[in-house]
Structure 1
Amino acid sequence: MIGDLVWWKYVALAVLFGAALGIVLRLFMRDVIAWLDLWVLPARHLKKCGVRRRASGQR
């Protein structure tokens, strides 16, 4: 019985820790994605537009 109770405590702690970690990761990833949208993706988008414009201009 005691072993079962300890096991349930570890399971509860793991679930709570996992939920908290998931929430933190979601918020962190949201910030990272927003940062990537601000800095990385516009540069790639501009490069793609430049390539497309050059290709269309050559045609």
Structure 2
Amino acid sequence: MSETHVPTIVVATDFSESSLVAMSFALALSKLLKRRLLLLHIFTYVPKHRYSIPVDWMDG
């Protein structure tokens, strides 16, 4: 079996209980494979937000 090159492991998280389990697994895997771990925070778009800056880029 040939070794697959994985330079970075990316894990998406919304910080829910189940995503914390996935994040824990990804951290262990990144340590085992000696790879970087990149966390990608996923959030729900809320049209009425509290920020004063424009967020037009969120409108898909």
**TM-score calculated relative to the size of structure 1:** 0.32
Q: By percentage of residues, which structure has more strand?
A: 2
Larger radius of gyration: 1
User: Per residue, is there more helix in 1 or in 2?
Assistant: 1
- TM-score w.r.t. the length of structure 2 is 0.31
Greater length-normalized contact order (CA 8 Å, ≥ 6 residues apart): 2
